[in-house]
């Protein structure tokens, strides 16, 4: 009895998905953004803070994408650029649920894929740092709605991705290095401080700025610990936090190192990301070549991972790799010029398996 002949394996079908926060519409940084996206070559690109829709459309036209915009309840809109054919789109923006919106997109997969379609759900969850702890309940409410949307068609493999403004369980934070970086930016005049008074009292100001020949409380402008230690591009300044005048000086005085970072990180709420893990979604956790933490924000001093791609179980089993684009390597300088977030990219192999002929 002869052995069954094998049907020729179909061509490989790879899906490259990227999520990217553009920072206030990409203002003044579109050449760098366009170059970075062109080099990353995603098939699906979820954009947050895609406020300049004509510029987003020009990016799509130049690089060969279809643009699917999703307006939000407030500035900071979202959009998805896709090379794959769109079958359905829904822009969720119920005001009782979403501060901004969530864009749901179903695309047809190319010939040779093991499934006919893939769905993408985008998020840009609230930061709400000014609301004294209310941010996490708001994020949980929005994610619960996204999970309901995904649950209407559980058989279609899908992804949930975007800017979560949240930290994953077990993830480290480089809090003291970040505060030191803010102090550096303040000393160079790139960071303005808010408060009831225009500037710190004279003695504290001299200590903080390093007047009189000092270097300030921690490091200086050439400190090798600061990624992107070059001057901050003016176009990225809208992404700088506006802090009370005394806070950076006090925070900079904290001992820098893993123990302090662990203590400060223990106060961060992590339930939002955990809610997806509890539902069986896989965190497409990026890896770095150096083994360093895969921080996604901010580009001027990477300190935390808040941008994610989560995969439903079937897609999780097809995951090949994930990376933070520009955190290290040849795209690093370009990424630091393009936004205050690094893009996150994940790749999946959707190829149908070879089958035996009868």
Q: Where are the domains of the chain?
A: 14-172+268-349, 175-263
Q: What is the pLDDT of residue 238?
A: 85
How does the average pLDDT of the chain come out, rounded? 85
pLDDT in tens, 139-197: 999 999 999 999 999 899 999 999 999 999 999 999 888 888 887 887 777 777 654 33
- Of 11-20, 58-67, 179-188, 310-319, the poorest mean pLDDT is in 179-188
Structure confidence at residue 131 as a pLDDT band (50, 70, 90) = low
CATH no. for 14-172+268-349: 3.60.10.10
Torsion angle of alpha carbons 170, 40, 47, 345, nearest 10°?
Answer: -20
Q: What is the pLDDT of residue 177?
A: 86
pLDDT in tens, 221-260: 334 444 445 678 888 988 887 766 666 667 667 788 888 8
């Amino acid at each position: 009895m002869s052995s069954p002949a094998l049907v020729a394996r179909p061509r490989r079908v790879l899906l490259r998905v990227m999520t990217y926060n553009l920072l206030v519409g990409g203002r003044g940084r579109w050449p760098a953004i366009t170059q970075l996206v062109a080099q990353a070559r995603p098939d699906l690109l979820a954009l947050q803070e895609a406020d300049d829709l004509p510029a987003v459309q020009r990016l799509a036209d130049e690089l060969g994408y279809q643009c699917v915009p999703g307006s939000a309840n407030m500035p900071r809109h979202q959009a998805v650029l896709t090379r794959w054919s769109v079958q359905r789109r829904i822009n969720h923006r119920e005001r009782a649920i979403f501060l901004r919106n969530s864009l749901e997109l179903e695309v047809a997969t190319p010939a040779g894929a093991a499934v006919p379609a893939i769905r993408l759900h985008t998020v840009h969850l609230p930061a709400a740092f000014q609301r004294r702890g209310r941010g996490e309940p708001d994020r949980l409410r929005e994610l619960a709605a996204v999970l309901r949307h995904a649950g209407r068609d559980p058989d279609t493999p899908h992804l949930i991705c975007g800017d979560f403004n949240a930290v994953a369980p077990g993830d480290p934070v480089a809090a003291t290095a970040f505060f030191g970086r803010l102090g550096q930016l303040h000393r160079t005049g790139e960071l303005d401080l808010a408060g009831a008074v225009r500037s710190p009292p004279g003695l504290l100001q001299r200590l903080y700025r390093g007047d009189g020949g000092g270097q300030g409380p921690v490091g200086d402008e050439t400190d090798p610990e600061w990624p992107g230690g070059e001057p901050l591009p003016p176009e990225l300044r809208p992404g700088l936090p506006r802090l009370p005048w005394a806070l950076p000086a006090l925070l900079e005085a904290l001992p820098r190192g893993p123990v302090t970072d662990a203590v400060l990180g223990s106060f961060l709420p992590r339930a939002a990301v955990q809610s997806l893990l509890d539902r069986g979604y896989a965190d497409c956790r990026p890896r770095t070549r150096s083994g360093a933490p895969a921080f996604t924000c901010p580009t001027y001093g990477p300190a935390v991972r808040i941008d994610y791609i989560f995969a439903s179980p079937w897609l999780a089993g097809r995951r090949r790799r994930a990376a933070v684009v520009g955190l290290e390597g040849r795209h690093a300088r370009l990424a630091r010029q393009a936004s205050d977030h690094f893009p996150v990219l994940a790749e999946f192999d959707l190829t149908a398996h070879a089958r035996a002929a009868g």
